[in-house]
Every structure is written in C-alpha cells, then in structure tokens.
C-alpha cells in the first residue's frame, strides 16, 4: 500500500484534476462549435486527452487511498477573467499555447521531486506525450494562420497572453508553486530529481 497522501499532496493532485476537467470542457465546447477541418480534428483529440488526464488524476488519488478534493475554481477561469473572451480562433489558439506551456512548467517542477511516489510518477508518464503533442499541434496551427492573420499579429497575441499568464500566476497559481515547494522541502530535496519532463522551467 502506498503512503497516505498528506493534505498538501491531496490538494495539489486535486488541483491538477480540476484543471484537466476544466480544460476538457473548454476544448470540448470549441470542438463542437468548429467547422470541419484539421483544427477541429486536432481540437477534438485535445479535448479527449484532457478528459482522459482528469481520469488519470482521479485514479491516482484513489490508488493512494484518498478522494479528490472539490476545488472552487481552476486557473482557466482566471485566464478568461483576465484576458476576456478570445475574438477569433487564432486568439483561442494563442491562449491555448500559453496555457499549455504553463501546464508543462507545473508538471515539470513537480515531476522532478526526488523519491516521488510511484503512483504520481506513473501518472506523469502517462500524460507526457499528450502534453508534448498539444504544444506541437497548436504551434503548427498558428503557423498555418500567418497568411490570414499576419505573423506580427499572432506574435502580439502570444505576447499579450504571456502577460495574462503572469497575472494569473500571481493571482492563483502561486499557491500551487508554494505547495509544491513545501512538498519538496518535506522530502528533503529541491527541483533536481529525475522527472520525465525535458522542458526547462
């Protein structure tokens, strides 16, 4: 039997689960509304991945003898509050790219904890390829839109959402970072463990 989750660990894993659920709902609505084509196809796969990830975190928490916490708000909510509703599909994808990079950074930081519980590491390992693909397909889609929207306009949108990301981080994501830092201190290490994520944070 794995060691019981601490309150802090239960909160962090529940935070991931809630965020994946919100992502699935967001991308599912987009996929349903889009006209047929490559972007609709990839968005549908993205939606399916997010839904599966939510199940993986639910299963992980259950395997460790706990239940997911009901958290009132995920950081996707804060993104839309700070940035407003995207005006077109290009802005949707620019926001998505920024958001997905933040997810990768969060998972990378956590996955590098030394002696991470096998159940948690196994969950990160199941998610990694999907997250890599999310960044790749959105980046390619934005590149394909340069003729319609202009390279400079797309770059400006990405920069605007990057600033929104920093604002959202200060408003809600900081609690996640503080809790992960506390978890690292509790395990007697810093973010130097061997995790599955290759991205720098």
Residue range 110-148, pLDDT digits in tens: 888 888 899 999 999 999 889 999 999 999 999 999 999
In a domain, 173, yes or no: yes
pLDDT attached to residue 186: 67
Tens of pLDDT, residues 49-76: 999 999 999 999 999 999 999 987 666 6
Using CA atoms, how far apart are residues 142 and 149, in angstroms rounded to an integer? 9
Model pLDDT for residues 11-42, shown as the tens digit of each residue: 999 989 998 999 999 999 999 999 999 999 99
Long-range contacts of 140-148 (CB under 8 A, 24+ apart): 141/38, 141/39, 141/42, 141/93, 142/90, 142/93, 142/94, 142/97, 145/89, 145/90, 145/93, 148/90
User: Does residue 200 sit within a domain?
Assistant: no
Give the SS3 label for residue 188: coil
Does the pLDDT of residue 188 top 60, yes or no?
A: no
Count of domains observed in the chain: 1
Tell me the residue range of the domain where 73 lies.
Answer: 7-185
| pTM, to two decimals | 0.84
Q: How large is the average pLDDT for residues 78-106? A: 86
What's the pLDDT score for residue 149? 97
194 pLDDT above the threshold of 60: no
Q: Quick one: CA torsion of 133, 136, 141, 144, rounded to 10 degrees?
A: -150
Give me the pLDDT at residue 140, please: 97
153 within domain boundaries: yes
Give the range among 32-36, 75-79, 193-197 with minimum mean pLDDT.
193-197
Confirm whether 126 is domain-assigned: yes
In-domain check, residue 1: no
Domain with residue 124: its CATH number is 1.20.1260.10
Instruction: Report yes or no on 69 lying in a domain.
Output: yes
- Is 170 contained in some domain? yes
* Predicted local confidence at residue 14, as pLDDT: 94
Domain assignment present for residue 180? The answer is: yes
2, 65 contact by CB (below 8 A) = yes
């Amino acid at each position: 039997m794995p060691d019981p989750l601490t309150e802090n660990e239960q909160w962090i894993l529940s935070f991931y689960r809630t965020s994946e659920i919100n992502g699935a709902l967001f991308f599912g609505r987009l996929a349903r509304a889009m006209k047929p084509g490559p972007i609709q196809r990839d968005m549908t796969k993205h939606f399916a991945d997010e839904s599966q990830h939510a199940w993986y975190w639910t299963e992980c928490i259950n395997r460790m003898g706990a239940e997911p916490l009901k958290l009132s708000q995920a950081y996707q909510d804060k993104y839309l509050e700070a940035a407003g509703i995207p005006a077109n599909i290009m802005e949707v994808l620019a926001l998505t790219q920024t958001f997905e990079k933040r997810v990768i950074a969060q998972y990378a930081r956590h996955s590098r904890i030394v002696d991470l519980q096998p159940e948690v590491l196994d969950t990160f390992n199941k998610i990694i390829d999907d997250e890599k693909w999310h960044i790749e397909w959105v980046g390619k889609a934005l590149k394909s839109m340069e003729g319609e929207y202009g390279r400079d306009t797309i770059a400006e949108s990405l920069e605007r959402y990057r600033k929104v990301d920093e604002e959202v981080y200060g408003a809600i994501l900081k609690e996640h970072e503080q809790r992960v830092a506390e978890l690292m201190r509790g395990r007697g290490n810093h973010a130097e463990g061997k995790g599955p994520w290759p991205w720098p944070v």
